[in-house]
Structure 1
Amino acid sequence: MTYQAGAAASGARASFEDATYSKVTWRLLPLLFLCYVASYLDRVNVGFAKLQMLQDLKFSDTVYGLGAGIFFLGYFVFEVPSNMILHKVGARLWIARIMITWGIISGAMAYVTTPEMFYIMRFLLGVAEAGFFPGVILYLTYWYPAARRGKITALFMTGIALSGVIGGPLSGWIMHAMPGVWGHTGWQWMFILEAIPSLILGALVILYMKDRIRDAEWLTEDEKRLLETNISHEESQKEHLSLGAMFTNGRVWLGALIYFCFVMGLYGVSFWLPTIIKATGVSDPLNVGLLTAIPYAFAAAAMVLIGRSADARRERRWHVAIPAFIGCIGLLLSTLYGNNTALAMASLTLASIGILTTLPLFWSLPTAFLSGTAAAAGIALINSLGNLAGFVSPFLVGWLKDTTQSTNAGMYVLAASLVIGGLLTLSLPAKLVNK
């Protein structure tokens, strides 16, 4: 009887805990998810603008690649300071500030006329957005322990995929239907209209988001106590580095190198996917946009399913490495079938599934061993260094395309980068990250 009573009590606690985290997820994730969709769309819609913008402004592929990538130099410079400010002043005000400023700058991209203006505006967009993604990753550590964070991070990062599902057809339609309206081109309207959601969501963040568990009036006292106890217990088991020690920690730098390899693949595909699809023989921007939705839709499902698998098995390394290897195979196949739209789309879908799945699961690695101020700075440092690949990747692909008149050489480089990232992930100690 005592055993049965204990089992019943344990079951009741587990049920209460599951219900509490479900409540938190439904409160936090929808808004954060929409913010990330808007963020990623404003970051990469220049890939669609390229279909018309380069001809209108007489830019080369190298100019485009440099402009697309220079975003990440501004992002790199201000990433760590931005996340440190967020940790001090709270996520609500700082994320709202980030979204409103990047929305304004993204809309102003419509009035670029020279390469210099293009470079400056992309740099400023990176400065404005610095801190958003690592800030959200840090914010999730305030609410969820590691055992639940893989699935939650994957759900959040499906915003990348959904921005492709929504943004591709939307960008294609705007560029197809809006040229000449009020004297603006299709690509100008795309920048203007797609900036509006960021401004609206920035205002909603101020009104809706709560900085900490204790601030959440929508939780009962018992629910707050449960969440705080779980986070406190996990924090006590982490490596507590000083801010200075974090900058000399080998695991932090290894994490940055791994993330760099994965981001090489992400932005190589994100910034060049419309161009690759157009090269298969699809010319109408609307059709290009509709086709770009396919890889992202499949990737969204894979991100959630594999994230759940990683949490259920409490295994992180192979759940990161295997998708990286799959992404490599997809990129290589896309170079073989560049003249066949159907086979090229199948290959790019496989590549997108692999590449996009590595990203949320990667973040379960550093957040498993960093805490406090070191977590704020460490996450930002890894993200900023890793995102330098967002500068290298599109510029390198653009330069190789101008040099070879093909995107194939660039895809080979990106494929190799994914393999390196997967192998480096397997070098991490399993007992450190499998939590």
Structure 2
Amino acid sequence: MDQLALERSTTKKVTLRLIPFLFLCFSISVLDRVNIGYAALQINNDLGFSNAVFGFGAGIFFLGYFLLEVPGSAMMAKIGPRKWISRIMVTWGILAFLETFVHTPIQFYTVRFLLGVAEASFYPCMVSYLSGFYQTKHHAKAIAGFMVAIPSTNAIGALLCTYLLSVNWFGLAGWQWLFISEAIPSVILGVICYFYLDDQIEKVNWLNKEEKKWLIDVTTKEKLEKQQVKHYTFLQALKDRDVLILSAGYFCWMVGYYGINMFLPTISKGLSEKISLSTQSMGWILFPMYICAMVTMILVGNHSDKKNERRWHVAVCLTISAIAMIVSSYIANASIILSFVFLTISLCGAFGAYAPFWAIPPSFLTGAAAGGAIALINSIGNLGGFFGPYIVGYIKDTTGSFNISMIFLGVSMIISSCIIVFLVKQSGKVKSSKFEKKLKKIS
């Protein structure tokens, strides 16, 4: 078998083996973000929470996430992704179930915080794990393959959550069933994960000897090349200039992203009520919005790999998202339909930036260093998930409108795009970068 055919055969097998399963696992993680947004439609009335209380509770999840993200990634490097990812999913499933029975703000804050602690390092572990099974040139497509779970789960969640909000089974309200729907599959998939994943390429039995040897050879060669450019340990990677800049850019992005995402059901309900749509009908409006975002994510990821460019793909997506978000808010009184159209464009931009952004760290770091860098970026960035929802809720309670909130969120995302495109150097664009020039000298 020639090298090209061998590459295609091996990459296809890796993709079919890993991407669908990691997609399912990541979907349950995303479902938590979806559930909490829709729960606001009932939980605030049932438990007497204000928008600020809900925003703080939704956001404090990311504070726990921040504190344990980097240590969790270090633990994965020691005990292996199979055991660590399995542990994460089982523990967060148990805590999601406990979330069903909160009654006071303190209970809500506590469970949300512990849920963040339990889930910490889940995403960077998955990205780091995948990067060990793919060549660098396939990273964006591979990442997009399982990250498409974000918009697709939001799409399906729009229908599932709006339906569950209408039920009252066994004395439990709809918002309680939202958390149960997350808890049960999380525990089940966590147990399966322990037996399904392989920690290293050498341990897999679903590739033949020729495919396994080829994959080990190409990934080992890339690791050695990266180490000659930046030979970092786990801790040294946390101090790298580009890693810190990417962390700052991701933070500003997540302020905008989670600020809108956590309150999107509430915003959409307000718009829907103006044209007399029920909560369940609103789900059918949100569904195609997230389908569009899913398609955009795949297309942007493929185009980023094709052009071998990352920074501008991220910046353009975030800028479009920010502008559309602000426009949507200010034309709502003139046209509800146009407002939803611009909300859709905003979602497409916010989701489209994911794949090229997360293809940047593995382009100049490898192994434990890459895992540590991804964990740091994700942990600092997700602090934006704490500030965004809280600030949106506070502004809404203070002004009675989401308009000023949308400006704040949009500006935050534009700042993110500027940071990434103008400050990130060698990691942002592998082609024609210092990184590539050094590789040419090495070869």
Describe how 1:295-310 pairs up with structure 2 within 5 A: 295-310=289-304
The within-5 A match list for 1:33-432 is 33-176=23-166, 178-179=167-168, 181-238=169-226, 239-282=230-273, 284-339=278-333, 340-427=335-422, 428-429=424-425
Tell me whether 1:433 sits opposite 2:432 in the alignment.
no
Separation in 2 of the partners of 1:233 and 1:18?
18
- My pick for the range that moved more, 59-68 or 187-196, is 187-196
Q: Report Cα offsets for 1:269-299 as digits up to 9, x if no partner.
A: 2201101101113363212222222221101
Moved more, 112-121 or 188-197: 188-197
Whether the 8 Å CA contact 1:137–1:153 is kept in 2: the answer is yes
**Counterpart AA for 1:318:** W
Question: For 1:363 and 1:196, how far apart are their aligned partners in 2?
Answer: 29
Amino acid at match of 2:189: L
Q: Is the 8 A contact 1:252 1:366 kept in 2?
A: yes
C-alpha displacement of 1:326: 0.9
Cα gap change, 1:341 to 1:183, in 2 (>3 Å): same
- TM-score, with structure 1 as normaliser: 0.94
Q: Which residue in 1 is equivalent to 2:435? A: none
User: 1-side partners of 2:241 and 2:13: how far apart?
Assistant: 37
How far apart, in 1, do the equivalents of 2:73 and 2:47 lie?
Answer: 36
Structure 1 residues 93, 396: closer, same or farther in 2, change over 3 A?
A: same
Which is further off, 163-172 or 240-249?
240-249
Paired with 2:66 and 2:269, the residues of 1 have a C-alpha distance of 31
Three-state SS of the structure 1 residue aligned to 2:387 is helix
Moved more, 116-125 or 358-367: 358-367
How many positions carry a matched residue from both structures? 423
Letter in 1 for 2:360: L
CA distance in 2, matches of 1:354, 1:432: 18
Residue aligning to 2:439:
none
Shift of 1:211: 1.1
1:413-434 superposed Cα distances (whole Å, 9 cap, x missing partner): 1111111111112122257632
The residue type equivalent to 2:343 in the other structure is L
Residue identity opposite 1:314 in structure 2? N
Q: Which runs of 5+ in 1 are unaligned?
A: 1-8
Whether contact under 8 Å (1:83, 1:377) holds in the other structure is yes
The residue that corresponds to 1:6 in the other structure is none
Residue aligning to 1:5:
none
Q: Cα distance, 1:220 vs. partner?
A: 0.9
Q: How far apart are the structure 1 equivalents of 2:89 and 2:198?
A: 16
Q: Distance in 2 between matches of 1:212 and 1:243?
A: 19
Q: CA RMSD in A?
A: 1.4
* CA apart distance, 1:245: 2.5
Distance in 2 between the 1:64 and 1:432 partners? 36
Amino acid at match of 2:197: M
Structure 2 length as normaliser, TM-score? 0.93
Partners of 1:167 and 1:97 lie apart in 2 by: 25
> Given residue 383 of structure 2, which amino acid in structure 1 is its aligned partner?
L
CA contact (8 A) 2:360 2:427 kept: no
Paired residues of 2:364 and 2:427 also in contact (CA < 8 A): no
What does the per-residue CA deviation read over 1:34-79, in whole Å, with 9 as the maximum and x for residues that have no partner? 1111111023311101101100101100000000000001000011
Q: 1:29 aligns with which of 4, 19, 40?
A: 19
Does structure 2 retain, via aligned residues, the 8 Å contact 1:240–1:372? no
Contact 1:97 1:202 (8 Å CA) reproduced: yes
In 1, distance between residues paired with 2:331 and 2:134? 43
Mapped contact 1:323–1:354 kept (Cα < 8 A)? yes
The one-letter amino acid paired with 1:276 is I
**Kept after mapping to 2: 8 A contact 1:369/1:432:** no
CA distance, structure 2, for counterparts of residue 84 and residue 147 of structure 1:
26
Greater Cα offset, 305-314 or 340-349: 340-349
Deviation at 1:240, TM superposition (A): 1.4
- Taking the aligned partners of 1:372 and 1:51, their CA distance within structure 2 comes to 43
More deviation in 404-413 or 386-395? Answer: 404-413
Q: Is residue 42–residue 195 contact of structure 1 (8 Å, CA) maintained in 2?
A: no
Q: How far 1:237 moved relative to its partner?
A: 2.0
2:193 and 2:217 map into 1 onto residues whose CA distance is 26
CA deviation string 1:289-329 (max 9, x = no partner): 22222221101001111111111111111111111111012
**% same residue:** 41
Q: Which amino acid aligns with 2:86?
A: A
Shift of 1:373: 2.1
Which whole-Å CA distance do the structure 2 matches of 1:397 and 1:69 have between them?
11
Deviation at 1:193, TM superposition (A): 2.4
